[in-house]
Amino acid sequence: MVDLPKSFPFRSKPSEDFLAACQLLSEHLPEIRSTRRALDSCDLGLPRLAGTVPVTPWCLQCHVLSVVSQEWFQVSSHKASRPEVVAAYLGTLGDVRPPLLEAVVNLPDRNGNTALHYSVSHSNFPVAKLLLDTGQTWSQCPSRRQTGAQGLSRIHG
């Protein structure tokens, strides 16, 4: 068993914030896809004082993507990620709207890695299988290191 810090949060089901963000993401998926802006082009890490920066639709999209991305990668992309938890998330995403499942399963982090990249890199093959079994993964999608998930699977056996 892997020793993790006590602060490592294990979720067994999606949080209310995640579900609300998924609903918003689902409703605005075509708009978000059409912007073609990467999540890492947003300055979400910078503190903002109330009233000093107008809230734009792009800013709201970044916030929604950030909420979904943080929780998704937290549950799906660690060596200790549990398949039953990932399965619960996948089921919830598919219930909200099937295109949302595709978008989240293939959501890249700032390095261009998806949950599939991480599950293969960490040899967490039960999670990788779940992701592949959705039929929604873009397994040829390369990370910034130009390594697609299929290429990683060959490297990691």
Instruction: Write out pLDDT tens, residues 43-99.
Output: 444 334 344 444 455 577 788 889 999 999 999 999 999 999 999 999 999 998 888
Domains delineated in the chain:
16-155 (1.25.40.20)
Mean pLDDT across the chain, nearest whole number? Answer: 76
pLDDT score of 63: 83
CB distance 57 to 11 below 8 Å? no
* Segment 134-153, tens digit of pLDDT: 999 885 555 545 454 555 44
Q: Is the pLDDT of residue 124 over 50?
A: yes
Q: Phi, psi (5° rounding) for residue 148?
A: -75, 160
Tell me, what's the pLDDT at 155? 43
Q: Is 142 helix (H, G, I), strand (E, B) or coil?
A: strand
Q: Is the pLDDT of residue 109 over 80?
A: yes
CA distance 101 to 79: 22
- Three-class SS of residue 2? coil
Once rounded to an integer, what is the mean pLDDT over residues 100-104? 93
